[in-house]
Amino acid sequence: MKLLIVEDEPELAAGLESYLRGQHYVCELAATFDQAQEKMLLYEYDCILLDLTLPGGDGLTLLQELKRQRPAAGVIITSARSAVDDRIAGLHLGADDYLPKPFFLPELSARVAAIVRRRRFDGTNEVRVGELLVEVARRAATVAGQPLSLTRTEFDLLLLLLANQGRVISKGAIAEHLSGDAAEQFDTFETVYAHVKNLKRKLTEAGAPNYIRMVYGLGYRFDAEQG
């Protein structure tokens, strides 16, 4: 799962990134209005943590533009501006939550997880396809009751595919989702191919059908109907 942290205080941004990476999220940072605007409108995130007071502009303006172009985007406002009017304005513009600074990192993580569950998995902690069961919060997967041993990246890839069942996801979108900004450093998609291949192998060796299909020239699709 991929997050965008919009925060202009370097120490706080670094602390948020370090903690959330430890919670198995891929994190990207934006420290200014312009940086945030570019990332928010070009890329897709599972949740955006949005500060309101930014160099170059107001976070509420970013939120308004984001919701105009991507109404389904998940957003938590994290701001020292705790006035009731600001909270009301942010929620009316489409923010999912408002967490005034200072806040506890475990609480932030729990709120992020709640938004990801609600937006990606209809609010449930469990996703079942045939004999495959994925427990989102525990980051665990089983096939016919037997644990599936996946790396962090393989589990993130499985969640991405499950959240987009029936849709073709391009190799570029997969690379960007799994690696964030680091994806731009790769000239090929060999890493994506390797992760997909390993995930497919582990699923089929555990007895699951061949759910993950390559769509030639486009990308990959999780197809629960074909197995």
Report the distance separating Cα 19 and Cα 209, nearest Å: 36
Q: State percent of the chain over pLDDT 70.
A: 94
User: Mapped to the 3 state alphabet, what secondary structure does 189-227 carry?
Assistant: CHHHHHHHHHHHHHHHHCCCCCCEEEECCCEEEECCCCC
3-state secondary structure of 225: coil
pLDDT digits (tens, 9 = 90+) for 21-60: 998 898 999 999 999 999 998 888 999 999 999 999 999 9
* Average pLDDT score, the chain: 88
- Tokens 């997967």 sit at which residue? 141
Cα 4–chain centre separation: 9
Report the distance separating Cα 147 and Cα 105, nearest Å: 30
Domain architecture of the chain: domains with CATH: 2-121 (3.40.50.2300), 126-222 (1.10.10.10)
Report the distance separating Cα 138 and Cα 29, nearest Å: 26
Provide the pLDDT confidence category of residue 88 given band limits of 50, 70 and 90.
confident
Instruction: Please tell me the predicted confidence (pLDDT) of residue 109.
Output: 92
Sign of the Cα torsion 18, 48, 35, 101 reads: negative
Structure tokens at 155: 């589990």
